[in-house]
Amino acid sequence: MVGAFNLVTPTEIVFGRGYITQLNDRATKLGKRALIVHGSNPGRLAEVFESLTTVEIVQTLSVEKEPDLNALTAAVDQGKKLGVDLVLGIGGGSVMDSAKVLAAMLPSDTELMRHLEVVGDGLPLTAKRLPLILVPTTSGTGAEVTRNAVIDIPDAQRKVSLRDNQLLPDLALVDPALTDNCPRHVSLHSGLDAITQVIEPYLSSRANLFTDMLCKEAIPKGLAALKQLMNGESKEARDALAQVSLFGGLALANSGLGVVHGLAGPLGGLCGAPHGAICGALLPAGIAANRDSVTEAEHKARIDQVIGWIAEVFCTSTDQALPRFHEWIIQSGLLGLESIGVTEEHIIAASKAAASSSSMKANPVVLPTATIENIMRQSF
């Protein structure tokens, strides 16, 4: 499991509280006419936008949910007319994924669908993308350091990826201060996603020495930080969770994910629920199903180590760790899949769609359909 491996990373990663002050100088070195992709509340980023004194903002795009094919196609058509030479994505995972797509497709003569997995042709990008800077304002997806962008395809009721090494940015600038006072439910959902994204790469069949080093530190740190944030705002916890999210992005880009993300994509496409909420609801049952199904000693040892970290953070025995974790998630405000719009029909459809998910292929063991459906029902 820890043999030879390749690494894909952004050109540069800058991490530190207050480092957002570097954005203008960094952006100026990459371009002059910027497209800025941001979240639904740009007022929260007013000071950041005002700091861009030597970069002309020629287009802005507000992203409120995971990007869909039609909205992205329209934004690309508009951007091509404006002479954009730099893309900045400042926001959560959906914002950064949108920025990746735009940076890739603005210089391209091909249609986006040609490059999409599952529903498209899965072709590699042919044009060199525009310069790209990604700045997260939530701690969850780690999208600032991943080589894929998740896109909603309403006609197919699926969320699929555009995946190419070119989607890695020139600069990932992570300033935990931008996540301060994030709404509690957003912190819970995104934080659970961040934790899932360091647990699944650690359990992945593709885990390697590099990803192990990231995940071993990040799993207990992320659990403790999210628990602390649910009890009250804390800069220390925000800093820790921002680091966990970053580590998760690096880990998943280099070792893959597992059953939780294998189901989260199809379920999100079917019901439109937030990605992090789906992951958080599925995580305890997903860990349990893998623990019951794996046969290799190393896989079992890794899962037991994760369960041990959970037990330590939530002050319980290892045999009660997953039930206690599930109970804590509910008590924190995520009541289960049914509460976010998942139905029995969605369970059946998602179990079929998950078979073609790239995330499922990295799960430590192949799970039968009945087990996959049971994970979702236990998370209901």
| Strand, helix or coil for residue 61 | strand
Check: CB of residue 329 under 8 Å from CB of residue 299: no
Residue 322 and residue 204 share a domain = yes
- Domain membership of residue 6 (yes or no) is no
- Domain membership of residue 3 (yes or no) is no
- Domain membership of residue 362 (yes or no) is yes
Residue 200 and residue 150 share a domain = no
Residue 167 and residue 191 share a domain = no
The confidence score (pLDDT) of residue 230 equals: 97
Distance CA 135, CA 142 (A): 10
Q: Of 258, 259, 272, whose CA–CA distance to 342 is shortest?
A: 272
Residue 195 and residue 158 share a domain = no
User: Nearest-5° angle of CA 182, CA 184, CA 185?
Assistant: 110
The confidence score (pLDDT) of residue 161 equals: 87
Integer CA distances (angstroms), 96 to 201, 256, 287, in order: 21, 19, 28
Residue 379's Cβ-count burial label (10 Å; 0-12, 13-18, 19+) is buried
Q: How many CB atoms lie within 10 A of CB 202?
A: 24
- Domain membership of residue 1 (yes or no) is no
Q: Of 184, 198, 193, whose CA–CA distance to 282 is shortest?
A: 193
The confidence score (pLDDT) of residue 2 equals: 45
Residue 213 and residue 142 share a domain = no
Write down which residue in 152, 177, 202 finishes a domain: 177
Q: Where are the beta strands (DSSP E) in 39-147?
A: 56-62, 86-91, 132-136
Residue 150 and residue 102 share a domain = yes
Residues spanned by the domain of 31: 12-177
Distance CA 341, CA 327 (A): 20
- Domain membership of residue 114 (yes or no) is yes
Residue 375 and residue 301 share a domain = yes
Distance CA 306, CA 2 (A): 18
**CATH number reported for the structural domain that contains residue 294 in this entry:** 1.20.1090.10
Backbone angles phi, psi at 153, to 5 degrees: -115, 90
Residue 161 and residue 189 share a domain = no
Residue 224 and residue 129 share a domain = no
| Strand, helix or coil for residue 37 | strand
pLDDT per residue rounded down to tens, the chain (380 residues): 446 677 888 889 999 999 999 999 999 999 999 999 998 887 888 889 999 999 999 999 999 887 888 889 999 998 899 989 999 999 999 999 999 999 999 999 999 989 998 888 889 998 999 999 999 999 999 999 999 998 888 888 888 889 999 999 999 999 999 999 999 999 999 999 999 999 999 999 999 999 999 999 999 999 999 999 999 999 999 999 999 999 999 999 999 999 999 999 899 989 989 999 999 999 999 999 999 999 999 999 999 999 999 999 999 999 999 999 999 999 999 999 999 999 999 999 999 988 888 889 999 999 999 999 999 999 99
The confidence score (pLDDT) of residue 1 equals: 44
Residue 188 and residue 173 share a domain = no
Write down which residue in 155, 177, 199 finishes a domain: 177
Q: How many CB atoms lie within 10 A of CB 49?
A: 16
Q: Which helix (H) or strand (E) holds 152?
A: strand 148-153
Write down which residue in 148, 177, 206 finishes a domain: 177
Helix axes 297-313, 209-231, angle to 10 degrees: 20
Residue 22 and residue 136 share a domain = yes
The confidence score (pLDDT) of residue 152 equals: 87
Residue 243 and residue 172 share a domain = no
Count: domains in the chain? 2
- Domain membership of residue 4 (yes or no) is no
